Amino acid sequence: WQELGGFDNKFFLWFEEVDFCKRVNLAGYEVWYDHHISLVHIKASSFSQISATARHRYFMKSLVRYLYKHVGLVSAGLVWLLSRPWFIVSYFYDHIISPKTSQAD
Cut 0.75: pTM above it: no
Give 13-40 pLDDT, tens digit per residue. 889 999 999 999 999 999 999 999 998 8
Which pLDDT score, from 0 to 100, does residue 12 have?
Answer: 80
pLDDT at position 75 over 70: yes
Which phi and psi (to 5°) does residue 94 adopt? -65, -35
CA distances from 63 to 12, 74, 81, 86 (A): 10, 13, 13, 15
Report, as an integer, the average pLDDT of 91-105. 62
- What does the angle CA 8 – CA 20 – CA 17 come to, to the nearest 5 degrees? 90
How far is residue 90's CA from residue 9's CA, in Å, rounded to a whole number?
A: 27
SS3 assignment, position 10: coil
